[in-house]
Copies of this chain bind each other. A is one copy, B any other.
Amino acid sequence: MAGNSFGNLFKLTTFGESHGKAIGGVIDGCPSGINLDFDAIQNELDRRKPGQSAIVTQRKEPDTVMFLSGIFEGVTTGTSIGFIIENTNQKSKDYSHIKDVYRPSHADYTYDQKYGHRDYRGGGRSSARETACRVVAGAIAKQLICNISINAYTSSVGDIFLEKPYQDLDFSKIESNIVRCPDEAIAEQMINRIKAIRKEGDTIGGTVTCVIKNVPVGLGEPVFDKLHAELGKAMLSINAVKGFEYGSGFCGTKMKGSEHNDTLNQDGTTETNLSGGIQGGISNGMDIYFRVAFKPVATIMQKQNTIDSKGNEIEMQGKGRHDPCVVPRAIPIVEAMAALVLADYTLLNKIIKH
């Protein structure tokens, strides 16, 4: 109820602040009998972890997950899976300068107003560090729905766009560069842009595109829990996300029905796929694809005017180690959230027919 849980049947509840002892979570509803690949789970965490390349924050965190329950002899038991990730790099003194400061476009002011009290260190609960727990759960979800493939990639950084449709891309190249864009030439431009932005002490936004293949027909619940509505919520719940569109998205609003309709083939597939793999909130077996907008990171290494908790005007400047662009590290998070939705809806779909 208080917002720290996600999912109906495959349900993740997370806890933890950026600079507490540990973050962690509980996955309730994971079926028994999954022979877990722990390397695959840690690999997803490594894709998200800080310090992994020259274009992300240089903070170092091993982000090693420790499972406490729900798994016996490597296999899920059907009981709740508890896990923690220790916070090893808690330089709390780094944050003494922001104790009483409301940083622009951060959650400092709103948390303080809402709760009357907050763990200000590293953003506390509002820190994107929390997404590491989503990645753990998402990695398990991927193993539950192993026939479905989920690939996200960087489709824009600032005004550098990867214009090619996803069908023309080789997803095996996503991990071949540090910005996670499957087109090498565009990737290089993106990397250079991020490096330049970092030198300015500034940050830049971007978009992530996610493509989900091999989805069975029938996932999605009417009326309020349409598959794309839940995917949208999942994505919008990730820090820094400002928008979500699927299939034809905002561009589709300019089209006519006669152009937009996807003609059905005899086998139930469609000739085009402007629908984005979902009809009436339910997957139709075609590829699901969507795009997620990330704003530029709010912490910049430039002087900014702001206020302190007493309403005094002050000048502040970001310190420490921050991401100049959140998108490269957001790729596994987008995939994880998509996996959570699909795992959950796969279970929901098991109870539909008598």
Contact = CB atoms under 8 A, between A and B. Distances in A.
B9 A28 contact: no
A299 B24 CA distance: 34
A130 to B, nearest CB: 6
A320 interface: no
A94 interface: no
B5 A1 contact: no
A205 B245 CA distance: 14
Contact of A81 (B15, B28, B202, B302): B15
Contacts of A274: 105, 295
A29 interface: yes
Contacts of A43: none
A242 B245 contact: yes
A190 interface: no
A284 interface: yes
Interface in A128-180: 130, 144, 156, 158-159
A265 B197 CA distance: 27
What is the oligomeric copy number?
4
A351 B84 CA distance: 26
Interface in A55-104: 66, 68-70, 72, 75-82, 84, 102, 104
B72 A119 contact: yes
Given A236-B229, A260-B105, A254 B113 contact: no
Contacts of A102: 264, 268
A105 B342 CA distance: 22
Contact of A352 (B31, B124, B261): B31
Interface in A222-269: 222-226, 228-230, 232-234, 236-237, 239, 242-250, 252-268
A250 B354 CA distance: 38
Interface in A30-71: 31-34, 66, 68-70
Contacts of A284: 109-110, 113
Contacts of A195: none
23 contacts: A1-B348, A2-B78, A3-B224, A13-B80, A15-B26, A17-B69, A17-B70, A21-B66, A22-B69, A24-B69, A77-B117, A110-B282, A111-B280, A115-B353, A130-B223, A232-B232, A233-B236, A249-B293, A257-B300, A260-B298, A268-B311, A274-B295, A350-B351
